[in-house]
Structures are given as C-alpha cells and as structure tokens.
Chains A and B, each alone.
Chain A
Amino acid sequence: MQCEHVRLQLPEYVLGLLAPEASQRVASHLAECPRCASEHRAYMETTAALALAAPPVIPRPQVKEALMARLNQQATSPTSRIRSWFVRLLAPSPRWALAGLALVTLLLFFSNLTLWSRLQRLERAQKTAPFQVVVLQGTERLPQAEGVLLFEPSNHYAVLVVRNLPPPEAGRAYQLWLIRPDGQRVSGAVFSVAPSSPWVTVIVESPEPLDRFPAFGITLEPSGGSPRPTGPKVMGGSADF
C-alpha cells in the first residue's frame, strides 16, 4: 500500500470511518512505515483535541469511589490473594525463586513443543475453513453440556450449536452473552431447548464484529431474555484470537 494513499485515508482512519478491511490495510502499513506512523500520531492528537470542544463537566465523586472500590474488590479476590501469597513465598529466597524459574522454563519448553505441533495442525485446518471456532463447556451446574460457536472473525453473525442442555423450566430460557474485554456482557441470542432433541442450533447476532469478544457465556434467564445476566451460568468458553 502506498504512503500517499494511506495518508489520504488517515483522517477517516482515526475517526473510525473506514471499512474493516481498509482499516486493517492502513494499520498494517502503519506498523511498517515510520513516516506514516508519525502522520498517524499527528492525527490522533488532532482528534483528541476535538474532545476539548465538549462543554466541560466534572463527574460526581461517586464515579471515582466506585472505580476504586472495584479495584479493591479485585485486589482482595481469591485469585489475587493466591498471587500475592506466591510472590511473598518466593520473595525472601531468590535461590528458590531461580530454581523454580528454571523448572517452569523447562516445563514451558516441552509444553511449547506440544502446543507448536497442535498449532501447526490447527493452522492447516483453518486454511481450509477460515472460521473461528469457540468451544463452550458446561459449568459445574451442567457439566454434560457442550457446544461450539462458529463465525467469521470480522462478521456480526455466528452459529451456536449446543447439546446436552436440558429444556429450561417454564418461564425460563437460555441466553448467550458476548463478553467484552472489560467484562461487559452483550446479549447474543435467547433460545430454548426442546425435550425431543439433545441438539440445538441458534443464529447469533452481534452488534459488533465477533472478534471483539474474547469470551462467551450462557445463563438461564426469564423467557424473553434479560438486559444483563441475572441467572446462573451454565456454559462458557473463551476465544483465542
């Protein structure tokens, strides 16, 4: 892609007005061309300056309080406590830490060999079918449930195929959630399961390209669906973009 063409498109690129394919081409060029990347920075700052045209308003103090409370909640979560415990365990004894590191490195090496081999197989498979496949597994509540979500990464539609989900109780339905990187849930589909068949196929519609969602989940909700998850999670899975 020529620099002149990219620079012509930069104003629309920074405003998010280019089609996904064109945007991807510009991004690829910027990664390789320092001069165009410099132009891009200039337009990023110009665009940011436009925010100053908005009337100045301050958020209420509760916004910061909620944010900091969220941080504290994360810091006291079990996962975080385990991490802190691990760090404290290794910190006083660097020799143990080094030995542990060597062991982990060794394990990672062999693990990588296995993964590399799997990756090669997957890449070969993907060349023949350019779909993203996300495997969904049943939670403890429904461990027998399994399924897949199939879509083209930049597309807004997907096909969900699940099996071994029991029919929901009267007045309830299953709801698929598309989970943003920040944890925000977007409804993808509301569906039911017939008692006669262990298989269900559902067409999923997303407001954004599906590769923007790194994870997916299914919960049990009131029939008709909910704006946000309210019921128990029955299935979940993560994408690997």
Chain B
Amino acid sequence: MGSPWYNLRRHRRMMPPIPDTQGSAMTPTEDDLHLLQRIQRKDAQALSLLYDRYARLVFSLALRIVGQVELAEDVTQEVFWRVWERADQYHPGRGSVRAWLLYIARNRALDVLRRRRRRPLDAHHLPDEGLPEAVEPDPGPEDRAVQSWERAQVREALARLSEEQRAVLLLAYFEGLSHQQIAQRLNLPLGTVKSRLRAAMQALRRHLVAEAGHPPGPSRRI
C-alpha cells in the first residue's frame, strides 16, 4: 500500500490542472515537462517513463475510438513516436503534457476511424459496442486507485450534464462526428446541435471545477 506522500506525488503527476472559470491556469506538472526536455535531448529512458505514465490513458482512448486492439496499439505507438520526434512542438501555454498527448491520440485515432468508415466492410463499425476481448483492465496498485478516482470524477461531471448534452458531446469527442453528422444521427436541427455542444462543454468544465471544490489542481486535492 502506498504512503500518503507517494499518493500525493501520484496525484501531482496524474492530474494536470484544469484552469478555473476565470482562466487562471496553473502550470503543467514539472515532472512531465522535465521528461519532455529529456526527450528533446533524445533520452530514450525519459520516453520510457512517459510511456509508463500515460500509455494506458492513450491506449484506452484510442481503443474507445477505433474499437480494435491492433489499431489502438498502432495509434498508441504512433503517439509516443511522435512525442519522440516532435517533443519540441509542445507548448506549455496551450495545456498540460497530458492534454497534448491525448489531443494527439484523439486526432490520430479519429484519422484511423475515418479511414475505416470509408471501407464498405467497416460501414457498421460502432465503437460503442463494447471492448474487445483479450485485454484486461490494469491491475496496477496505486495507479488503479488514483485513476479510478479521476474517472469517477469525470463520470460524475458527465452524469450532471443533461442526456441531450451528453449525447452530442460524446458523439463529437469519441466518434469525431461533425455538427452536420450529429444532427443527422440524432435527427436534430443543426443549430440545436451547435448550441447543445457549446453548452455541454461549458457545463462539463464547470462541473469538473465543482467536483474539485476549487480551481482544480492535483496538489490541492488531498
């Protein structure tokens, strides 16, 4: 069982801050920045550490989007390869390292998904149909507790959205559908989709802040 100090460090690492509604962003965790600086100097050990830290998150997202283990593995490898090749393209001012990684992962996974959709055989591909078999949830010790807690917070924040808001948000984020495609899928006017999507993102941001009880930051959660 990890000590409280250990857990505190884990929280600092795993929970990049979400700026408050006034936009007073905290800086990304120093650990990640330091790792990225080492990666820029082509330190393979640093990439290995960053991989251990975020691979599960990246892979889970990729798998949720593409719905196939092999493709999600390809995406995961490509994301970290890109970090290796382009670590200098990260700008702390645009968000945490974790947000950057997940941004790359989502874009890459959606590229794969869109290519698959264009093929007739994959026309019925629906990532919502459940996880593939043969991959077990991570049984890691402290990570599991911390990430479960984080996931619970996000689930709680999502649950506080209206069903209509949640539907458009998840279709946009996990399936990469355009406004028009969401409108067709849900049989809604285009304007409604746009306004619901904006409202959903604003509400989610508010709820995530409220879940933490303060302008959220990992060091203040314990």
Contacts and interface: CB of A to CB of B under 8 A. Distances in A.
Interface of A: 8, 11-12, 14-17, 35, 37-60, 62-64, 66-68, 70-72, 75, 181-182, 184, 207-208
B151 A71 contact: no
Contacts of B82: 181-182
B19 A57 contact: no
Given A50-B154, A67-B77, A42 B172 contact: no
Given A11-B198, A56-B147, 16 more contacts: A12-B197, A41-B94, A44-B94, A46-B18, A48-B98, A48-B99, A50-B154, A57-B131, A59-B56, A60-B135, A70-B77, A71-B47, A71-B84, A181-B85, A207-B114, A207-B118
A79 B52 CA distance: 29
B169 interface: yes
Interface in B33-49: 42, 44, 47-48
A63 B16 CA distance: 25
Given A53-B151, A71-B84, A58 B137 contact: yes
B48 A68 contact: yes
8 contacts: A16-B176, A44-B103, A52-B150, A53-B151, A55-B137, A57-B135, A60-B73, A181-B86
A38 B114 contact: no
A70 B205 CA distance: 38
B87 interface: no
Contact of B23 (A39, A48, A64, A67): A39
Contact of B205 (A42, A54, A55): A42
Contacts of B52: 64
A51 B200 CA distance: 15
A71 B85 CA distance: 10
A58 B63 contact: no
B25 A54 contact: no
B172 A17 contact: yes
A39 B56 CA distance: 28
B154 A42 contact: no
A42 B25 contact: yes
Interface string B61-90: 101100000001100111011101110000
A218 to B, nearest CB: 21
Contacts of A59: 55-56, 59, 72-73, 76, 135
B136 interface: yes
Contact of B135 (A58, A62, A72): A58
Contacts of B80: 67
Contact of A40 (B24, B94, B110, B138): B94
Contacts of A58: 55-56, 59, 135-138, 140
Contacts of A51: 57, 60-61, 102, 105-106
A37 B72 contact: no
Contact of A66 (B61, B77, B107, B131): B77
B2 interface: no
Contacts of A54: 60-61, 63-64, 174
